[in-house]
Amino acid sequence: MVTAGLLGVPLEDHRQLKAWSATFAEMLGNFQHNPDRINDVLRCVADMTGYFRDAIREQERCPRDGLIRSLMDAEVDGSRLSEDEVIANTIVTMVGGQETTTNLIGNGLLTLIRTPEKMRQLREQPEIIASAVEELLRFETPSQHTARICKEDTVMGGKLIRKGEAVMAVMAAGNRDPERFSDPDSLDLTRADNRHLAFGWAAHFCFGAALARMEARIAFTALARLDDIRVASDDLEWRTNSGLRGLKALPITFKAAA
Ligand code: HEM
């Protein structure tokens, strides 16, 4: 719903947007597990493209606030984005904002339930929420890796990477690097100097980081207030996606307030 509002499409389409995002996300690191899903993913891309093309045409007739409109209007040195570029950026923003934030909340909640003393700490000291979210981003990195194609022969960390070769940067591993973080495998909700890589780095640093942080702060503050929160399943299942780490579902129980 937040994403629909941000883009400027009808809020009542939020279930459809979520379903498309989930299918699209499978493309990011999953084909080795589910090659038979390729056609579904391609159909989903075609459907999303059609939906956003219609949204753009609709906006040409009656404009509404949101990212789609901003992308349509954006102009740098007289140059505008083509319709396909607006659609592509809209899809990236929509998908980028969904599975990642969902997984941050799901994985973070599971981590807190498994370390009850940390859950208690967050409940008793709600003022640590900002650093708690940063630590959960570091500790259970929702977006595990990204990739780049090398533009020219480059030596990095003593290794030659040739022009045209693909490089995968595993942010999740960097976030547990003992040379960077002291005691990296322990969860410290008040960790100082927590410059993690969960939102990427430099030119492509996450466009939605501020929003994701805000959503996570609201969610964890509310969840930490629940009484006797427990996982209601003995066999939690992780998604078979090497890029987006998250559970298929996280059933929980808690005590209703008296
Ligand atoms: C916990 C939540 C999130 C995580 C972990 C996350 C993670 C990331 C990462 C790692 C990148 C960099 C990818 C790269 O360099 O290859 C990125 C980029 C991006 N993210 Fe997020 N993201 C989150 C939430 C969001 C939200 C809420 C939005 C949209 C409102 C969003 C939109 C984007 C976009 C559009 C980019 C591409 C930026 C560019 O290429 O310049 N993300 N995100």
* Pick from 22, 34, 97, 38: nearest CA to 247: 22
- For residue range 231-247, list pLDDT tens digits in order: 999 999 998 888 899 99
Q: How confident is the model at residue 258 (pLDDT cuts 50, 70, 90)?
A: low
Cβ-count burial 121-147 (b if 16+ within 10 Å, e if not): bbbeeeeebeebbbbbbbbbbbbbbbe
Q: How confident is the model at residue 29 (pLDDT cuts 50, 70, 90)?
A: low
Q: How far is CA 10 from the centre of its chain?
A: 22
pTM of the full structure: 0.93
Closest atom of ligand 1 to 213 CA is: 1
- Tell me, in angstroms, the distance from the centre of ligand 1 to residue 42's CA: 22
The domain spans of the chain are 2-96, 99-141+172-255
Protein residue with least CA distance to atom 12, ligand 1: 200
> What is the pLDDT at residue 32?
63
> Is the pLDDT assigned to residue 7 strictly greater than 90?
yes
- For residue range 156-199, list pLDDT tens digits in order: 889 999 999 999 999 999 999 999 999 999 999 999 999 999 99
- For residue range 88-141, list pLDDT tens digits in order: 999 999 998 888 999 999 999 999 999 999 999 999 999 999 999 999 999 999
Q: Which amino acid is at 183?
A: D
What the block records as the tokens of 15 is 């279930």
Closest atom of ligand 1 to 202 CA is: 15
Q: What is the CATH number of domain 99-141+172-255?
A: 1.10.630.10
Name the percent of the chain lying above pLDDT 70: 97
Task: Say if residues 10 and 52 touch (Cβ distance below 8 Å).
Answer: no
Ligand 1 in contact with 169 (CB < 6 A)?
no
What the block records as the tokens of 108 is 């973070």
- Tell me, in angstroms, the distance from the centre of ligand 1 to residue 96's CA: 5
* Pick from 16, 187, 21: nearest CA to 109: 187
> What is the pLDDT at residue 44?
94
> What is the pLDDT at residue 28?
72
> What is the pLDDT at residue 31?
60
Q: Which residue has the tokens 């000291």?
A: 125
- Crossing angle between the packed helical segments 83-96 and 38-61, to the nearest 10 degrees: 120
- For residue range 223-232, list pLDDT tens digits in order: 999 999 999 9
Q: Higher pLDDT residue, 241 or 80?
A: 80
Q: What integer is the mean pLDDT of 252-256?
A: 93
Ligand 1 in contact with 97 (CB < 6 A)?
yes
What the block records as the tokens of 17 is 């947007």
